[in-house]
Amino acid sequence: MNARRLLPGSPNPLGATWDGNGVNFALFSANAQRVELCLFDSRGQREIERVVLPEYTDQIWHGYLQDVRPGQLYGYRVWGPYDPNAGHRFNPHKLLLDPYAKALSGELVWTDAHFGFRVGGPRQDLVADRRDNARFMPKCRVLDTAFTWGDDRRPTVPWSRTIVYEAHVRGLTMTHPGVPPAYRGSFLGLAQPGVIGHLKSLGVTSIELLPIQAMVDERHLVEKGLRNYWGYNTIGFFAADPRFYVTSAHRDFKSMVQRLHEAGIEVILDVVYNHTAEGNHLGPTLSFRGIDNASYYILRPGNPRWYENYSGCGNTLNLTHPRVLQMVMDSLRYWAEEMRVDGFRFDLAAALARGRNGFDSGGSSFLDAVRQDPVLSRVKLISEPWDLGGDGYRLGRFPPGWSEWNGRYRDTVRRFWSGEGGMIGDLASRLTGSADLFSWGGRRPSASLNFVTCHDGFTLRDLVTYQRKRNEANGEGNADGTDANYSWNCGHDGESPYPEITALRQRQARNLIATLLLSQGVPMILAGDELGRTQNGNNNAYCQDNAIGWVDWGNVDEDMLAFFRILIKLRRENPVFRRARFLEGKRLPNLVLKDIIWITAEGREMTQADWTLPYARSLGFVLGGGVAGIDEPKGQEEAGDTFLVLMNAYHESVPYVLPPATLGQAWEVVFDTFETQAGLPSGTWAAGITYALRPRSLAVLRSVSSGRGFARDIQEGYGA
């Protein structure tokens, strides 16, 4: 070794950093005894050199190589005790990935050599394995992150105007006719004009991408010819997975972000910082476990051989450790600053906020760090507010600044439209932004991220087609996936030859999506629902990187697509459906009209007794127009029309007396989901007469004012 070639380098920044002259390598390990940097040839097949990092500063091993350039492939071997009962699993026979690697080369090839212990041995994980796994491991790549962004600007969509579109990079692009075959399934495929044009014409503002960070396909899936399609099995938090790029990780991803930003669309990443792909004590040694197991993972007090498993995937990252927390924060800032993403959705976020005494929304080191961070506190933060711990369901308990996936919204809306009685009180809370959950600490309706479908569960079409899941293709005996679907098959399970059932299913789908897009809060749409996409009853397509999991662009329900566009346009143009503040049932400023009035079928304002009727399956309400709110962040007042929304989940018609008015006052039907061509106006109705709200349908009517105006009519009619 040329002494002049290897210099001490710096403990900061962590990872492999190219500075124009050479590369600084820095790796955290509090308990290691020696760290070896392994350099590989351009194909990653042959180890060409092994260098002992010469310095150890503040628990960081580091060194600087003057002649290393971008593109160099590398990995680590870390020496230390192999003593699982003490929490240590060092094994220098295993090549390890750098936790800070910004790009990977190659794929993991499964072999017993990846395990730190002798697989199948009588003492399980207690005896170290001496086989070398390097030839079967992906390698880290030194990266030059230079990119010409031009005049790229973040769209910075206000929360009150945000409409999220949840999509998978491969799933959205694999069959799209406008994506060249070489780009299908990739970031560059998502950047194609045809895909972005669809998003623009639909009217969504933000695309939320299922995990794209470097991931591992579990061995049991590979052996069955499947793969972890969804990607919730991360092994590298700074690198994009090679399956998503064509030229290079950072250039392809940045080009995609640049094109989406040009179209005014935000990019939100679904990220998995609650666990890694290394599994439990019988899992492989790929990175963190072999670098410093006792630091990176939450181990059981008194028996550190075992892992705390709040994720359900075998392990939980230890964000109470300052260096592990630093890694997560560095990763988030890297994606927000270097890659210019606009927000994050955190998988099983309750696990991230666990301290020594369980979930802690007020003193979690992670939540506190994010809240004060000058970069991360300004991007969109969305939590999945639960994990698999006994106290893990924490909906409504994340701090100000966060939006939360509202699983209660999903379940309530599904149960109402499936015909369950006694739901109207809870439904009213969900429709109005779930103030019962979120109206504390200055939080707004945007704290509730509303959805009726997401990647995990039935698609919209399947929700009205299947009573029970059909997950046989996953190879788990249909035992995987939830049974709590709150779905209704409209009288026939699976695809039906009966026109009346098909018509009812289409109406039910319109009812569900109309409810979503007319609710206060932030709506999230599942990619493909607008096209009538089906997974053939599979409600857990996590391993289906095929036609089951992909959006089918060759079989589009044009009527459903048109209805989605109508609803999104209606929401965008009418601020009463997206108020920045919670509705209170009080008079609007300078008007006698209330912001919301709940009405019975008789046309009167609801009383407490009406809310508690166990058989109630219909609900009506008036959203008061006038000044409907303040536009964020400009502070301009937004004027809006007054709307009447009528919802009937009963199997018979419910006649609704329209709100009272003086002569000349009328209601214009915006749409009625019972109509075959949903969304087409179907007439104007005089105030005070009866509107027959037909079975299992939803109608939206707009006030057509004249004379003294609708505000005074409401005052006289309801004694406001």
For 279, residues 6+ apart whose C-beta sits below 8 A from its C-beta are 313, 314, 315
**Annotated active-site residue in 384, 387, 529, 610:** 384
For 361, residues 6+ apart whose C-beta sits below 8 A from its C-beta are 353, 367, 394, 397, 398, 399
Pick the closest to residue 487 from 548, 432, 534 (CA basis). Answer: 534
* Residue found by looking up tokens 């536009």 in the block: 631
3-state DSSP call for residue 6?
Answer: strand
- CB atoms < 10 A from the CB of 499, how many? 8
- CB atoms < 10 A from the CB of 136, how many? 16
Give the span between the Cα atoms of 583 and 627, in whole angstroms. 13
Give the span between the Cα atoms of 2 and 319, in whole angstroms. 39
Strands (E), 80-189: 82-83, 88-89, 104-105, 139-141, 164-167
Burial of 495 (0-12, 13-18, 19+ CB in 10 A): middle
Burial of 168 (0-12, 13-18, 19+ CB in 10 A): buried
**Annotated active-site residue in 347, 387, 462, 529:** 347
- CB atoms < 10 A from the CB of 500, how many? 10
* Residue found by looking up tokens 């998003």 in the block: 199
Q: Which tokens in the block code for residue 563? A: 């209805």
Q: Which tokens in the block code for residue 318? A: 């230890």
Half-sphere exposure of 13 (CA within 13 A, CB side): 16
**Is 717 within 8 Å of 686 (Cβ atoms)?**
no
Give the span between the Cα atoms of 365 and 351, in whole angstroms. 12
Give the span between the Cα atoms of 315 and 135, in whole angstroms. 26
Residue 329: its H or E element: helix 322-333
Q: Give the end-to-end CA distance of the chain in Å, rounded to a whole number.
A: 87
* Residue found by looking up tokens 């935000």 in the block: 266
* Residue found by looking up tokens 């492999």 in the block: 16
Active-site residue, 384 included: yes
DSSP string, 225-266: T---SS---EEEEEEE-GGG-SS-HHHHHHHHHHHHHHTT-E
What counts of helices (H) and strands (E) characterise the chain? 16, 34
Active-site residue, 262 included: no
- CB atoms < 10 A from the CB of 709, how many? 18
Cis previous bond, 614, omega within 30: no
Give the span between the Cα atoms of 23 and 19, in whole angstroms. 6
Q: Which tokens in the block code for residue 441? A: 């600490």
3-state DSSP call for residue 64?
Answer: strand
Residue 638 has phi, psi (to 5 degrees) of: -110, 120
Give the span between the Cα atoms of 658 and 667, in whole angstroms. 8
List, by residue number, the catalytic residues. Answer: 347, 384
